[in-house]
Amino acid sequence: MPSIEKSKDQKIDNKKIILISIIIVALIGGIIVFLNITKEKNLNLEVYAPIPEASMEIGVVGNLEIGESIENVNPEAIENPVRPINEPIPADIFNTSGTILNIQGNSIIVRGIGTNFDDQIKRDLVVLINEGTYVNGVYGDAEYFKKSLKIGDNVSIEAPYNIHGKTEFLAKYINIIKE
């Protein structure tokens, strides 16, 4: 009799080993499938990355020198100001607007209205577009950019950093202004 009991225990142990082996193989298979899916979709886990301090500095274009007045530098700003003349320009500016003059590979040239310059002079701005740019709410689709942005469109632009006094910057959002 004792030999029969051992064989029943061995059968039970064999079943446990097979069950545990199947569970381990299933877990490993699940992990492999998960890794392949995430690799194919190229998941973008956004991690907070602080904006470099240099990008928050004020640019040098359009600054008024000490003793200069906007009346002398840009008389047109007196007749058609983009903001009240007596109101100081903010140190940090993150948006502007203008008309698209040209569309290049990864940028657009926009005739800015002068809001991001102390002297309020209208200037050509090089607005860079990358995979992190939203155009009319669509994220990072180069084909959509080419189809939706056209020369002559009035656009509103928002940057991820300070554009005060800068004529070239990266856009985070570009929206066509419908009149």
Number of neighbouring beta carbons within 10 Å of residue 154: 16
pTM of the model: 0.65
Tell me how far apart the alpha carbons of residues 156 and 127 are, in angstroms, rounded to a whole number. Answer: 11
What is the pLDDT at residue 89? 80
Place of tokens 């926009």: 110
**Digit-coded pLDDT (tens) for 14-48:** 888 888 999 999 999 988 888 777 665 544 444 44
Locate 23 and state its tokens: 């569970």
Cα–Cα distance measured from residue 72 to residue 161, given in angstroms and rounded to the nearest whole number:
30
Least Cα distance to 68 among 109, 4, 121 occurs for 121
Candidates 89, 115, 111, 85; CA nearest to 100 is: 111
Closest CA to 61 of 138, 136, 130, 114: 114
The model's pLDDT over 75-107, given as tens digits with 9 standing for 90+, comes to: 887 788 888 877 778 888 999 999 999 998 888
Out of 88-92, 120-124, 148-152, 162-166, which region has the weakest mean confidence (pLDDT)?
Answer: 88-92
